[in-house]
């Protein structure tokens, strides 16, 4: 008898020809928990992927949210990040699941997202899939990089192009502080990035500052396009 990885309830095995011949993965969470992962659907901001259904009209500017409009009107950042897409809305439920995975070392929870992530990433064309790096201090503290874990568990091969300068946790910074951060990444590769398309992976899109800092240094070193994908938005 399998147990749901999130609520630990017993799950009855679903028998089918596919499952009998090992062609289909068995679900690792129950239907109720799956439903609590609020998938992003419908119309979204063309840049950051924010769902418009949950955004008041005054925070929308044509096909963009106002946040992205501000980024695009800033000469330093316009065109830096080509597009972000995310799997789930950042509800209290997903916030708690990510916290267990990310901060409390419950590594097995990464497999909860693997199938959805693998399916979603098939829509992207890219040369390198790159995890947003942690600083050495943060990596030691957590024991693993959650972005790299997402990539490998979904069956992809991460390419490390960046290293991170140690800073205070993003979650402790205000929105203006996040947006006006000094560059927090360094390029760490001998690969030629000229004309390459890069897909950045992270767990959460909040202000978009982290992803834009990473995209900026990649574009400054020749990348043609930088997309990003996160679990939650």
- The pLDDT tens digits for 138-151 are 888 888 999 999 99
Residue 97 binned pLDDT confidence (cut-offs 50, 70, 90): very high
pLDDT tens-digit profile of 41-85?
999 999 999 999 989 999 999 999 999 999 999 999 999 999 999
- In the chain, beta strands by DSSP E: 2-3, 10-11, 60-61, 64-65, 83-88, 128-131, 162-164, 185-187, 197-204, 225-232
Q: Could you give the C-alpha distances from 37 to 29, 31, 66, in angstroms and in order?
A: 11, 10, 26
The residue-averaged pLDDT of 187-201 equals: 96
Please count the structural domains in the chain. 2
CA neighbor of 193 nearest in space, from 224, 233, 230: 224
pLDDT tens-digit profile of 114-127?
999 999 998 899 99
Residue 108: DSSP 8-state: G
| Residue-number span of the structural domain to which 82 is assigned | 38-232
Cβ contact 68:45 at 8 Å: yes
**Phi and psi angles of residue 211, each rounded to the nearest 5 degrees, phi first:** -65, -35
Residue 14 binned pLDDT confidence (cut-offs 50, 70, 90): low
CA neighbor of 10 nearest in space, from 26, 29, 25: 29
Is 72 found in the same domain as 18?
A: no
Is 184 found in the same domain as 127?
A: yes
Count of residues making up the chain:
233
Residue 180 binned pLDDT confidence (cut-offs 50, 70, 90): low
Is 104 found in the same domain as 6?
A: no
List, in sequence order, every residue forming a beta bridge with 185; answer none if it has no partner: 164
Q: How confident is the model at residue 20, as a pLDDT?
A: 53
Is 116 found in the same domain as 49?
A: yes
SS3 139: helix
Is 95 found in the same domain as 21?
A: no
CATH classification of the domain holding 44: 3.40.50
Q: Is the pLDDT of residue 18 over 60?
A: no
């Amino acid at each position: 008898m399998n147990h749901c990885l999130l609520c630990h309830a017993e799950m009855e095995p679903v028998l089918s020809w596919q499952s009998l011949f090992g062609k289909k993965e068995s679900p690792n969470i129950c239907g109720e928990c799956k439903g609590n992962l609020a998938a992003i659907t419908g119309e979204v901001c063309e840049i950051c992927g924010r769902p418009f259904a949950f955004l008041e009209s005054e925070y929308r500017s044509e096909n963009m949210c106002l946040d992205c409009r501000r980024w695009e009107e800033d000469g330093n950042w316009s065109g830096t990040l080509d597009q972000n897409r995310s799997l789930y809305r950042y509800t209290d439920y997903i916030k708690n699941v990510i916290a267990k995975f990310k901060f409390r070392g419950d590594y097995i929870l990464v497999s909860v997202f693997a199938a959805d992530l693998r399916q979603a990433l098939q829509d992207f064309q890219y040369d390198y899939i790159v995890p947003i790096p942690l600083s050495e201090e943060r990596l030691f503290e957590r024991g693993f990089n959650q972005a790299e874990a997402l990539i490998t568990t979904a069956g992809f091969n991460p390419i490390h192009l960046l290293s991170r300068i140690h800073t205070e946790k993003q979650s402790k910074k205000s929105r203006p502080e996040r947006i006006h951060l000094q560059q927090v990444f360094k390029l760490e590769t001998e690969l030629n990035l000229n004309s390459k398309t890069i897909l950045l992976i992270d767990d959460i899109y909040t202000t978009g500052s982290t992803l834009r800092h990473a995209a900026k240094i990649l574009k400054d070193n020749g990348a043609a396009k930088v997309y990003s994908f996160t679990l939650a938005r």
